[in-house]
Amino acid sequence: MEQISHEITLFAEPVFHYGSFTVTNALFTSWFVVALIIILSFILRSKLKIVPGKLQNIFELIVDEGLKLCDQVTNNRALSIKIFPIAISVFFFILVNNWLGILPLGGFGIIEKGEHGLAFIPYLRGGTADINTTIALAVMAVLGANIFGIFSIGLWKTFNKYVNLKALGGIFTKIRREPTIIIVAPITFFVGLIEIVGEFAKVASLSFRLFGNVFAGEVLLVSMAALVAYIIPIPFLFLELLVGVIQALIFSILLVVYFTIGATDHDEHEEVHEKVETLLVN
């Protein structure tokens, strides 16, 4: 009987095709997670009661503690309420994906004939163990933060964070009062351009951190199971469940940080500072 092999690959394996569109196991898992979260949300919504049950109590506690955590970042409950729905949705999406990738559900899949014999391809693979998913999440977080900034403080102020034309214009209006503006203004302008590079760095940091930790955890579990099939891998499994929570929490908190920065109007702080200086001089 020909032996069936299964190796953890760096890329997500295709499980079926819809025309020219290829559905990988990581994409299939992500769809499954989204559907699961939507169904659970509708169930919870339909069973809301004034006197909460056990399940409602658990989620009310999660929401309450999550809002408190957001408040520590934003220092503004009104802003936290705006950002929190996105942050908690991303948290649960990443968390369930992380857990599905390491739970012993890999028995469901297909067997295909490859170059080195028969190969087993599981239907479920954690979406966050695929770099395409984590890059998409990172782009959503960074781009979403800037769009949120546009709606919060306006297009012009958001644009000036990166291309600070106001700083260059200040050379002509402030040069008599502040001669050093000739040096400071160009530096401020180029710092804004560097911020554009920083946005791309955020995407790389978010995506590779999440992908690296989740993928490494799956490889660790497979390696331990290959060496010692029983008992020994169990502590590592629980450790990876904890890592899944931590990674989802880190990504969500960073998303809140980026959205808070996007909604922060630096010009207002500068205007207040200038008014204070004027009052002190007078």
pLDDT in tens, 239-274: 888 888 999 999 999 999 999 988 887 655 444 344
Domain that holds residue 89: 4-281
3 DSSP 8-state letter: P
Question: Edge to edge, what strands does the sheet with 117-122 contain?
Answer: 4-5, 117-122, 109-114
**Of 42, 137, 113, 95, residue with least CA distance to 241:** 95
pLDDT on residue 8:
58
What six digits make up the tokens of 248? 């989802």
Segments in the chain below pLDDT 50? 1-5, 106-107, 109, 269-282
The predicted-structure confidence for 210-232, as pLDDT tens digits, reads as follows: 988 888 877 777 677 667 767 77
**161: helix, strand or coil:** helix
136 DSSP 8-state letter: H
pLDDT on residue 1:
43
State the Cα–Cα distance between residues 162 and 158, nearest whole angstrom.
7
Question: Which amino acid appears at position 43 of this protein?
Answer: I
Contact criterion met (CB below 8 Å) for 5 and 116: yes
pLDDT on residue 94:
93
State the Cα–Cα distance between residues 263 and 79, nearest whole angstrom.
9
Strand 109-114 to strand 21-24: parallel, antiparallel, or no bridges (unpaired)? unpaired
- What whole-number percentage of the chain has pLDDT above 90? 25
pLDDT on residue 219:
74
Question: What total of structural domains would you count in the chain?
Answer: 1
Contact criterion met (CB below 8 Å) for 119 and 76: no
State the Cα–Cα distance between residues 82 and 64, nearest whole angstrom.
14
> Could you give the angle at which helices 77-102 and 181-227 cross, rounded to 10 degrees?
30
pLDDT on residue 172:
66
